[in-house]
């Protein structure tokens, strides 16, 4: 890679962009319909859950079509999960590239986070446009807040992924446990039910989950009629994101030489 007369910032931008394209090609380039599969995971969740709960409840919540209610929780959560897990695997998956002095683990973390956030936004837009096209009500009350919450989830996933990367470097067997742990987090993040429908005695425990606050904040930004509890705190989401990102960056910086030593 030619670095003559280029600033460190320009070199890093070029490295991250090259890694972004490499990740994109690696993830989808092997399959003829590879890009179709990025829609499959969220759509499978939406279809299955909609079919299950259509027999147990009305097809709307607070006047919101149930599939639209689901997608506003499922896509942000899957984006957060995918970023966390892919950043966790970033060093092992790209270890051969670190022989080039311009490429650092942080570059791979950034490229993976950017790719998964970009794909999530594309999937989000396509699904919502498709739902509007088939006649479902898809409001968009506060686009700025929606994008802000998505950005916070990207940064939280990046920070958490770096923490996981260091943990699994020293305890590789923890990868399986971490992947399994996302299932109960999925169920406890208000994706299937609004927390206004959850018994009050459980709320003090559930409200320790910042993803629950983020998903509720997201839905409040989408739907005018959505009933968001006073206990939901956007500040809690922001402060958790900053804390997780700070500790992820600090621990990565402290252990970066050990990550590359294997």
Mean pLDDT, rounded, for 28-47: 68
Please state, in angstroms and rounded to a whole number, the distance separating the CA atoms of residues 257 and 128.
Answer: 44
pLDDT on residue 4: 54
Please state, in angstroms and rounded to a whole number, the distance separating the CA atoms of residues 181 and 200.
Answer: 24
Please state, in angstroms and rounded to a whole number, the distance separating the CA atoms of residues 161 and 112.
Answer: 10
Q: How many helices (H) and strands (E) does the chain have?
A: 10, 2
Per-residue confidence at 54, pLDDT binned at 50, 70, 90? low
Mean pLDDT, rounded, for 25-29: 76
Please state, in angstroms and rounded to a whole number, the distance separating the CA atoms of residues 99 and 189.
Answer: 41
Q: Is the pLDDT of residue 55 over 60?
A: no
Which of 1-10, 37-46, 72-81 is the least confident region? 1-10
Mean pLDDT, rounded, for 47-58: 63
Q: Is the pLDDT of residue 238 over 90?
A: yes
What is the overall mean pLDDT for the chain? Answer: 85
Instruction: Give the count of beta carbons closer than 10 Å to the beta carbon of residue 40.
Output: 11
Q: Residue 160: CB partners within 8 Å, gap ≥ 6? A: 84, 87, 244, 248
Mean pLDDT, rounded, for 68-91: 92
User: What confidence tens digit (pLDDT) does each residue in 133-184 have?
Assistant: 988 888 877 889 999 999 999 999 999 999 999 999 999 999 999 999 999 9
| Residue 64 phi, psi dihedral angles, 5° rounding | -100, 130
User: What confidence tens digit (pLDDT) does each residue in 89-139 have?
Assistant: 988 888 888 888 888 889 999 999 999 999 899 888 888 888 889 888 888
pLDDT on residue 1: 47
Strand 64-65 with 60-61, pairing: antiparallel
And the tokens for 193?
């039910």
And the tokens for 250?
């600090």
Query: 75 with 124: CB under 8 angstroms?
Result: yes
pLDDT on residue 99: 82
And the tokens for 128?
């919502």
Q: Is the pTM of this model over 0.85?
A: yes
Mean pLDDT, rounded, for 205-225: 91
pLDDT on residue 48: 75
Q: Is the pLDDT of residue 24 over 70?
A: yes
pLDDT on residue 147: 93
For the ranges 63-67, 83-87, 91-95, 143-147, the maximum mean pLDDT occurs at: 83-87
Q: Is the pLDDT of residue 3 over 60?
A: no
Please state, in angstroms and rounded to a whole number, the distance separating the CA atoms of residues 245 and 118.
Answer: 19
Per-residue confidence at 78, pLDDT binned at 50, 70, 90? very high
| Residue 161 phi, psi dihedral angles, 5° rounding | -60, -40
Q: Is the pLDDT of residue 208 over 90?
A: yes
């Amino acid at each position: 890679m030619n670095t003559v007369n280029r600033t460190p910032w320009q070199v890093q931008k070029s490295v991250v962009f090259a890694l972004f394209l490499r990740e994109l090609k690696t993830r989808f380039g092997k399959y003829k319909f590879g890009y179709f599969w990025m829609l499959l995971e969220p759509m499978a969740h939406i279809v299955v859950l909609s079919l299950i709960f259509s027999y147990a409840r009305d097809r709307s919540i607070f006047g919101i079509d149930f599939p639209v209610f689901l997608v506003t929780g499922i896509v942000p959560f899957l984006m957060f999960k995918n970023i966390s897990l892919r950043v966790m695997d970033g060093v092992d998956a790209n270890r051969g590239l670190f022989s080039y002095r311009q490429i650092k683990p942080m570059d791979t973390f950034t490229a993976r986070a950017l790719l998964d956030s970009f794909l999530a936004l594309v999937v989000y837009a396509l699904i919502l446009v498709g739902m509007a096209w088939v006649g479902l009500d898809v409001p968009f009350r506060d686009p700025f807040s929606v994008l802000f919450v998505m950005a916070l989830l990207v940064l939280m996933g990046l920070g958490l992924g770096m923490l996981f990367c260091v943990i699994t470097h020293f305890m590789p067997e923890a990868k399986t446990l971490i992947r399994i742990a996302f299932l109960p987090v999925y169920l406890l993040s208000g994706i299937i039910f609004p927390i206004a429908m959850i018994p009050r005695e459980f709320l003090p425990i559930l409200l320790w989950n910042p993803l629950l606050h983020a998903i509720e904040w997201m839905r409040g930004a989408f739907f005018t009629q959505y009933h968001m509890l006073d206990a939901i705190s956007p500040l809690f989401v922001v402060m958790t994101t900053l804390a997780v990102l700070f500790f992820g960056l600090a621990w990565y910086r402290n252990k970066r030489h050990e990550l590359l030593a294997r």
